[in-house]
Amino acid sequence: MSILPHAIPPERPWPARVYPGDLSRTSTIRADLRSDPAGFTEDLVETAVLCASEMAANAVEHTRSGADPDGRVLRALFAPEPGVLRLVVVDDGARESSPVVPFPFCADLGTAVWAEVTTGETG
């Protein structure tokens, strides 16, 4: 019996990518995202590129990903169903000067933000 509510595909079509936590690297994130998800419409990919750029820039600007010299940002892609592209950006966690996290068990974890972009088509 699985504890997960849904099946996980045995293989992801795209590897997760890790980037240095530097704003100058957002152009590399955008370029990789334009080349990775083959088979999706140009409009969907460009929407995902815009989301990834903003999410990565926020991770660098507001978390340890940008404050720590060894900071990094992880980007992952999934296609949970046809016509849907799920983008995940994970940072290195809160900076020392940030507000205290009310849940101590997650204080040292990075923040994962995801966006799901669809073709808008049904059926």
Dump pLDDT digits (tens) for 28-75.
999 999 998 888 889 988 999 999 999 999 999 988 999 999 999 999
For 83-92, what is each residue's pLDDT tens digit?
A: 888 888 999 8
17-118 maps to which CATH number?
Answer: 3.30.565.10
Q: What is the DSSP letter of 123?
A: -
**Nearest-5° Cα angle at 110, 108 to 113:** 150
12 Cβ neighbours under 8 A, 6+ residues apart: 76, 77, 78
CB atoms within 10 A of CB 97: 6
Residue 1 pLDDT level (bands cut at 50, 70, 90)? very low
